Structure 1
C-alpha cells in the first residue's frame, strides 16, 4: 500500500491537536471519511495502532504518543525549511481565513481590500469580524488581530503598534451628571464598560499620572463586548467610556458628540497584535496579510478604526 506519508502525518497531528476526526476534517477542508481513512492507512503502513477510539473520546496509544511527538517536530522543521528556501519566490495564494476586531474590519480593512487584492490576486480571503476569543486550530483560522496582551502560550504574536486610550463622554451625559474634575468625582458617575466575551470579566478604567496608577470600577447602565457598541452607547449618553483613540472616536471628538474627560490623567495604551499558532508554518499569504495590516495602521499613524 502506498500512502502520502507527509500528508498522513499532517492529518494525524491535526486529529490529535483537535481530539476529533470531525473537527480535523473541518480544519483541513476534507470529508470526515477521508480523514478517518488516511489515519487508518497510516496505522496499517506503520503496523501499529496510534489511537484508542471510543464513542466519547480519542486518546493516544504509547506508539501514537511517540509518533505524534516526532511527527510534529518533523512537520515543523519541514515547514521552516520550505519557508526559508521559498520565501523569496512563493506567490501568496489560496484561502486565507482571518479574524479581526469588528471596528477594524469595518472601518479600516474592508475599505482597503481593493489594494490588497491588487497586490495578491491569487488569495481568497474569509474575513471574520469579532471581538470574541477565537480557537485558531479548531476553527481553521490562519491568524487573528487583537488588542491587548497575549495570554495563550500556544500563540506567537507580532506587535503591529499601539493605540492611545481616551476617556470621554457625551455632552448630554455630562450635562446631567457634571464634568468630573478629580478621580474622587467618579464615585457619582456610571461607566460604559467593556467585558470579555470569553470570561465575562468587566475591565476597570485605568488612570495614570507620573508615578500614580489607579484602576477604578463603577456600575454601568450598559456593558458590551464589542468596541463599536461601547462607543455607540457612550455617544447615546449612557456614561463615561474608555476606548482606544481610533478613527471612530476621533471623529466623535472632532464633531463634539464626545468630549474628553479628565484629560490630565493618562488612560494608557492598547497594543495591537497579530496572533497565529506558534507551532504552525507561517505561510506567505499570512505573512503578507500581517505586513499589509501593519502598513495600514502605520499609514494612519497608529490609528486603527
Structure 2
C-alpha cells in the first residue's frame, strides 16, 4: 500500500461523500479507491468510514484522522511548492475565511484576475464573520476587521475600513433626517443592529465629528443581525439607520438606494488584517494569495494610517 495515495483517496472520499466521485476526481477507478481505503483501515486497525448503498459517512475516528491527513497532505504539497522550480507557478489547495461583505464586494469580483495569475491554485473560501480556529479548522488564513487578539498568529494589516451612517430614502420620508447622532435615541428613529460574533451583543454606533467630539449611540432596533450583507439588506428595506463601511455603501448611494446621514460625523475606522498561523515557512500558494489580497484590498480600501506587519511577513 502506498500510504500517501491511500490518505489522498481517503480525504477525497470524505470531501466528496462518494467513492465514485472520489475516483473521478483522482482519475482512477472506483475499485482502486475502495482497495486503498480497505488497506488503510487494516493498517490503522480502525473503521474510518461507514458505507451504505446510498451514502458514505465518516466515523468519529475517521473524522479525527481526516483532520490530521489534511495537515500532512498540505505540508507535503507545501514542501513541493517551496522548491525554486515551483515558486514560479504556485499550486495546490488553499483554505481561507473572509467576511461575507468583503467577499461579495471586493474579493470575489477580483478572483478572475487571481486565477489568471495563478491557475494552479484551488481556492476554498469560507465566507463568514464567525470566529475561526485556524489550526482546528485547517484554515490557511483569515481576513478580519478589528485588532487580532491572538498573539500567536502572524497578522498583516492590509487596509482600513471607513464607516458612515446611511438610511434608505423611504425610511427618511417616514422618520425624518437625523441631525445629530443623539437623535437616533429618540422614539421616532430606529437603527439596524449589528450583532457582534465576539460578544453576542449589538454593537453601539460610535460617531465622531471634525472637532474630535465622540458620541456613543445604542439606538432602538426592531432587527439585529450578525452578517454585514444582511444588515445592508435591512437598511435597503428601510428598517432603520445603519452604519456601513463606505465600500459597501458606495454603489447604493450612487443609485439613490441609500442616503448618507449625519454627514458631519463618521464612525471609528477599523483596521483590516490578514492573519495566518506561524509555520516554519510560508508556502508559495499562501504567499501568492497574501500578495494578491494586499494589492486588491489596497486599491479598494486604502489605509489612512501606515500599514504594518506584526511578527514576520510572508
1:52 is aligned to none
Distance 2:267 2:85 in 1: 41
| SS at 1:160 equivalent | strand
Contact 2:161-2:301 at 8 Å conserved across structures: no
2:241 is aligned to 240
Superposed displacement of residue 183, structure 1? 2.8
Superposed displacement of residue 86, structure 1? 5.5
1:186 is aligned to 184
Distance change >3 Å, CA 142–CA 158, structure 1 → 2: same
Distance change >3 Å, CA 301–CA 198, structure 1 → 2: closer
2:157 is aligned to 159
Distance change >3 Å, CA 219–CA 272, structure 1 → 2: same
Distance 1:86 1:225 in 2: 44
Q: How many residues align?
A: 239
| SS at 2:267 equivalent | coil
| SS at 2:252 equivalent | helix
1:208 is aligned to 208
> Unaligned 5+ residue runs, structure 2?
1-59, 304-314
Superposed displacement of residue 283, structure 1? 1.6
Q: 1:233-270 CA deviation, whole Å, 9 max, x = no partner?
A: 01111111001111x41111112211111111121212
Contact 2:164-2:244 at 8 Å conserved across structures: yes
Superposed displacement of residue 162, structure 1? 0.8
| SS at 1:128 equivalent | strand
1:219 is aligned to 220
Contact 1:244-1:270 at 8 Å conserved across structures: no
Superposed displacement of residue 89, structure 1? 4.1
1:95 is aligned to 93
Distance 2:255 2:65 in 1: 50
1:114 is aligned to 112
Superposed displacement of residue 92, structure 1? 1.7
> Unaligned 5+ residue runs, structure 1?
1-19, 35-74
2:121 to 98, 123, 137: 123
Distance 1:284 1:174 in 2: 51
Contact 2:184-2:191 at 8 Å conserved across structures: no
| SS at 1:139 equivalent | coil
Distance change >3 Å, CA 105–CA 184, structure 1 → 2: closer
Distance 1:213 1:143 in 2: 34
When the two chains are superposed, the root-mean-square deviation of aligned CA atoms in Å is: 3.2
Distance 1:22 1:138 in 2: 15
> Is residue 144 of structure 1 aligned with residue 138 of structure 2?
no
| SS at 1:136 equivalent | coil
TM-score normalized by structure 1? Answer: 0.69
TM-score normalized by structure 2? Answer: 0.68
Distance change >3 Å, CA 159–CA 227, structure 1 → 2: same
Superposed displacement of residue 169, structure 1? 0.7
Contact 2:87-2:284 at 8 Å conserved across structures: no
| SS at 2:192 equivalent | strand
Distance change >3 Å, CA 30–CA 98, structure 1 → 2: closer
